[in-house]
Structure 1
């Protein structure tokens, strides 16, 4: 089933506007303006509203990623926001990085709720969940809050420290932290015969492991998903993958999940994730596939 997922009502986050290759967002009490390559249309709000931003990101000349933030005096470099959806209550420490990111992808809200709900539905008394390319841990915390034994894996040590901060701010503990190359770890887990009731993947288009291991999405994803099939508990599991690579169609995930996991169209959700702004324009922010027994 082809689906479109978007963020629900969330008092501490709002996409105010998007256009002219930028987006204007509110995180808690602070408004940020930063680049967004898919917002090719005109902004909805007047320039005066964009000028209210407490921080605005400007790219370095010749760089698609790096840049610097221009801050108003009232803008801190780090702050905490709340996330409260139903029975799921988390806190996230945000910060202004030199790559325009703030440590959170708010469009993933529907997937955090999926993880929380599906973890609670597992038949295993303590479901085992593996979160690969786990970044600052929002998905990890959703699974742990639902009672899972969670392994959080990311190749960047500083990112794992950030995820720990989010865990502590949320009043959660007991997560297993790994600074590791995802492909190497998954191969070892398959050899060890380990099984998981939940698998979460959020792979980048490209990246490096802690020892320089190369990750290229189009080259590695097919093998990664075959290994994940071996790790899933065949009778009791949920699976979620997100892709952010521009031009990576949801049809690719359709083909891969059909061939590798054998799940039919009626057994899974697949499609696009987006945010809507105050003008009700839909900003596409990636593709996803998820399913559960």
Structure 2
């Protein structure tokens, strides 16, 4: 069954409205306007309300970069927010980057709850979790806070440093940081015979490794899936594959997973979205996930 999933209990984040290729969001006490290519419908709130509410707006200079325009110089460049569910609490340092990101993808909270649930349910003491294309570490923090021995892999040193800041903010320790090309790292782990109880993949459509390695989702994701399946502990595991690519559907994700792992159990596929307070649903990627318990 294809599912539509959205975070439901995050007090520090709110999608207020979206439309006309923009989104109006609250992160903690700070409200921002950012571009959103998928919001092709009309805004629900009047433009005057958007202008009244926001503190900062991103204005693009090119397809990949831009500037943040503040209404008040007192608005911070960096600030902290918290995420918690019934089992764990983590914190993030947010910041205004030149490519419109803040250091967090709020829709991923759905996957963080799934990680928490599975790590807590495993009988394996300190289950091993591998987070690939791990960015600033939301999934890594949640896995570690839930009790997992966690390895975080990303090719960009600056975002791994950012993730380490988030670890310290969250009062956590001992996440293993790897600045590496994800596909190369996985192949090396396969050769070593390593096993993980949990694997999270949130690959970009395009990317580069630290030594110039090229990643293109449609060219490499099938190879990656066949490799990571070999790393799963056969008795007790979970895997999450999340993609943000306009050309990918949840049916493609299902085919990828079933092709790489014909014996998959408890497979769920669907679409992640954010529910705007003003009404619209903003689609933000497709996912596939599955788990296996010893019981």
Q: TM-score range by the shorter chain?
A: over 0.9
1:56 matched residue in structure 2: 57
Instruction: Return 5+ residue gaps in structure 2 as ranges.
Output: none
TM-score (normalised: structure 2): 0.96
Alignment deviations for residues 71-120 of structure 1 (CA, whole Å, 9 cap, x no partner): 12221110001112212211110001111000000111111011011011
Alignment of 1:19-168 (within 5 A): 19-51=19-51, 52-60=53-61, 63-72=62-71, 73-168=73-168
Structure-1 separation of matches of 2:266 and 2:129: 20
Alignment of 1:173-184 (within 5 A): 173-184=173-184
Structure-1 separation of matches of 2:221 and 2:190: 16
Structure-2 separation of matches of 1:97 and 1:177: 22
TM-score (normalised: structure 1): 0.97
Aligned length: 290
2:93 aligned counterpart, secondary structure? strand
CA RMSD of aligned residues (A): 1.0
Structure-2 separation of matches of 1:118 and 1:84: 16
Cα contact 1:144–1:150 (8 A) shared by 2? yes
1:267 aligned counterpart, secondary structure? coil
2:258 aligned counterpart, secondary structure? helix
Alignment deviations for residues 136-170 of structure 1 (CA, whole Å, 9 cap, x no partner): 00000110011111000000000001101111101
1:169 matched residue in structure 2: 169
Alignment deviations for residues 114-143 of structure 1 (CA, whole Å, 9 cap, x no partner): 101101112211101100000000000110
Structure-1 separation of matches of 2:285 and 2:64: 18
| Between 194-203 and 119-128, the greater mean CA deviation after superposition | 119-128
Following superposition, the deviation at residue 2 of structure 1 comes to 1.0
Displaced runs of 4 or more, over 6 A: none
2:272 matched residue in structure 1: 273
| Between 152-161 and 273-282, the greater mean CA deviation after superposition | 273-282
Following superposition, the deviation at residue 263 of structure 1 comes to 4.7
Cα contact 1:272–1:284 (8 A) shared by 2? yes
Alignment deviations for residues 30-63 of structure 1 (CA, whole Å, 9 cap, x no partner): 0000000000011011112211211100111xx2
2:245 matched residue in structure 1: 245
Structure-1 separation of matches of 2:214 and 2:245: 16
2:290 matched residue in structure 1: 291
Structure-2 separation of matches of 1:271 and 1:180: 29
Structure-2 separation of matches of 1:21 and 1:167: 33
Structure-1 separation of matches of 2:85 and 2:222: 34
Cα contact 2:55–2:75 (8 A) shared by 1? yes
Alignment deviations for residues 230-288 of structure 1 (CA, whole Å, 9 cap, x no partner): 00011110000100011211111111111111256x72110100001112211100000
Structure-2 separation of matches of 1:46 and 1:10: 25
Following superposition, the deviation at residue 9 of structure 1 comes to 2.3
Structure-1 separation of matches of 2:155 and 2:259: 28
Cα contact 1:272–1:285 (8 A) shared by 2? yes
Structure-1 separation of matches of 2:274 and 2:158: 28
Alignment deviations for residues 177-201 of structure 1 (CA, whole Å, 9 cap, x no partner): 0000011110000000000000000
Cα contact 2:19–2:44 (8 A) shared by 1? yes
Structure-2 separation of matches of 1:126 and 1:14: 33
| Between 84-93 and 25-34, the greater mean CA deviation after superposition | 84-93
